Amino acid sequence: MSDQNVQNAGFTSSGIRGGSLASSMMSQEARVSGGGVHSGGPTATLQEMGARGSTHSSGFTSSGISGGSQASQMMSQEARSHGGGTPRGGTTPTVQSI
């Protein structure tokens, strides 16, 4: 995943850009969860990367998730909490797609 993709999606060092994919994700995630965006969820994870200005070493790459990385730990944790698979629209697949 490139820093530019995260920025282009609207996850920036100054916050989520209005009218962007990021703001749509945040709105949808908040509606589904009853009004808030959960720490560790797709929006929060991507915003953390955007705020840092760097996605390097996170493990989300154009060729997949790197073994032993933060991304692989996220995927493993998400799979365990959902009975063995990562759900469509979950944190790991959303972040990987961007």
Residues 49 and 58 sit within 8 Å (Cβ to Cβ): yes
Show me where the domains of the chain are located: 17-55
- Please, which residues have CB within 8 angstroms of residue 84's CB and are 6 or more apart in sequence? none
Looking at residue 20, its pLDDT comes to 94
Q: What is the pTM of this model?
A: 0.67
Structure-token pair, residue 56? 């390097």
Residues 4 and 55 sit within 8 Å (Cβ to Cβ): no
Q: Strand runs (DSSP E) across the chain, as ranges?
A: 11-12, 15-16, 60-61, 64-65
Q: Which of 9-18, 64-73, 87-96 has the highest average model confidence (pLDDT)?
A: 9-18
pLDDT per residue over 28-83, tens digit each?
A: 888 888 888 888 778 888 888 888 877 767 888 878 888 888 888 888 888 887 88
